[in-house]
Structure 1
């Protein structure tokens, strides 16, 4: 065993003096590098969204990752986003907005513009 003198790490923590092992824990020396097998990533159960990397208020860096979207969030977004557009389209159709015919309904006369004087009837 080798003795390691007490010292301070780069992050400022103090390390007491100790004995360090000089040989591997196993009785047989390693001849080939050990292969690490990667664990399979969990498959998300529903829709996901990507969260970009960011720093927390305490300075901790959070890596970018995929996050599953809860069914409640999907319902809130679908209820406000798509429903508002549909309501707007229905109101435009009822109010005679773009896309309606230019023929006036029977029994009404078109109003004249305020900027162009009306022609006298003869």
Structure 2
């Protein structure tokens, strides 16, 4: 008999270590009911069903040295809205406020070749 080490199946169920037969059993003329051994079968954990959009997370190592396998992670509705362009409402709000306020001052429409006036607090030729 071959010994099988304890492990987790792909569906998440835990399998205890056990001995497995190396040869198949002889053909049975009829199906016999399984014998009661007093052990309970491991509980099957239900897999989490994703109802929304997901993203793939690449495998990585944490700071404490734990390795994390690559997996799919669900995305929050807020993240989806920002990625889809729904987060631009604030910019629209600012533009509407600027339009209602009258836009920029008339001072900004001066010709570009005008020189700024000197400060009256500092004498000419001295820079602060």
User: TM-score category by the smaller chain?
Assistant: 0.3 to 0.5
TM-score (norm 2): 0.35
TM-score (norm 1): 0.36
Q: Which has the higher contact order (CA 8 A, sep 6+)?
A: 2
